[in-house]
Structure 1
Amino acid sequence: MNKQAPFSVCGESLSAPMHICGFFDSREQQYEVIIPYILEGLEANDKVINILEGNRHGEHCRCLTDNGVSITEKLLSGQLEVLASENTYINGGKFVADEMYDLLEKSLLSSSRAGYDSVRACGDMVWALKNLPGTDELLEYEARLNLLTPKHSCSLICMYDISSFNESTLKDILLTHPYVIKDGKISKNPLYVEPSALLSSLSDLRSGSVKS
């Protein structure tokens, strides 16, 4: 049975489970939001998972260190994981929604068994700009996460660079997240569509394209 877990982001007190899209226009703005979120999680005995491009790991760990995190200690204990997009979202050079969903679900289950009170995950979605095979499954994957999160004590922030993604993609992404971070503030997303309805619509569209 899932339990509610308090957390804060952008200065707002919230309760997990929660699936959030973070829209950022710079690396600095992104870190202004996620660093306090990560630090609070490490202090609260939460499992913290960060997924970003492999070439950003050095910079990311230095930023955490500069903010007082004992990186080596937290990595060795397993409380903090810094994973590469290349080994998760686009493992093998392609995106497979089912595989990424299963990977995340297994991580949530193992974190609970390990005794962590909750899981906080931040995923940088820049990998989706590479247009690798399977990227068209992104919207379905994001929608399905709303079926997964209620089963676990977790908060997930999917981070999108609004200067890199086109407006159409960002509008689609808004359909899949109950909460949105914009301009350093978090709010309930009025454009959110319940996953059952959105997945049904996506299935209909896919069936129509196959028939045509």
Structure 2
Amino acid sequence: MAASMTMGLPGVRLTPGDHICAFFRGARERDALLVPYLREGLRAGDMCLCVTDDPTAAVGELVAESASDPELARGRLRSTDSESTYLADGCFVIDRMLGFWETEVGGAVVRDGFDSVRSVGEMTWALSGRPGVEGLISYESRLNDFLPRYPLVALCLYDLERFSDGEIVVEILQTHPAVLIGGELVENPWYTDPHDYLGRRPATAS
């Protein structure tokens, strides 16, 4: 397992097990975080699992690049969309999405032999009004129990132009041990252990 991983941003290094909340504004800022993160992962030989609202817009050029660049071909990139993952069957189910990551990450490590995995989730699906999306925060908290099982870094993308409710932003912060903002990765003083956090929240359907 790699002791640390480069982020693709100056001075930012990652450690397997990191669960990072990345705040940005608009597609340009998103891509300025997302593309270097994935490109560095491919160069390092990582499995990169990317779930965004529109994969063609978010990482289309990188997918094409990785198919022809031997340096990027050291790793593998799987890019898919929120509708077929987070919102499969038209709703969000926490256990189903955790099962998706178990299958994809576990398969990459156990079956395919990858030493490190990078995942990305663009979280605007949670604003769709679909059944189950109220489970977003419980899902984020439960991810903290899942991540240590694998050599995995998880990057959760939150557009502050969309997530404008201050109370939700506070809850997002409470479920991520690290925050990436303004190009800096910082330890999150508001993070709350998932067992403590979920123990005081109303029950949410799994």
TM-score, structure 2 normalization: 0.88
Query: Secondary structure of the equivalent of 2:189?
Result: coil
Matches within 5 A, 1:52-201: 52-53=52-53, 56-64=54-62, 68-70=65-67, 79-113=76-110, 114-165=112-163, 166-201=165-200
Which residue in the other structure is 2:14 paired with?
A: 14
**In structure 2, do the counterparts of structure 1 residues 109 and 34 end up closer, same or farther at CA, with 3 Å as the change threshold?**
same
How many residue pairs were aligned? 199
TM-score, structure 1 normalization: 0.86
Separation (CA, whole Å) in 1 of partners of 2:13 and 2:156: 19
Separation (CA, whole Å) in 1 of partners of 2:156 and 2:184: 15
* CA root-mean-square deviation: 2.4
The structure that is helix-richer by fraction is: 1
Matches within 5 A, 1:19-58: 19-53=19-53, 56-58=54-56
Unaligned stretches of 5+ residues in structure 1: 208-212
Q: Which runs of 4+ in 1 moved over 3 A?
A: 71-74
Larger radius of gyration: 1
Q: 1:140 is matched by which residue type in structure 2?
A: S
What are the superposed Cα offsets for residues 47-78 of structure 1, whole Å, 9 maximum, x if unpaired? 0011012xx22223433268x4327999x999
Unaligned stretches of 5+ residues in structure 2: none
Identity %: 31
Separation (CA, whole Å) in 1 of partners of 2:82 and 2:69: 21
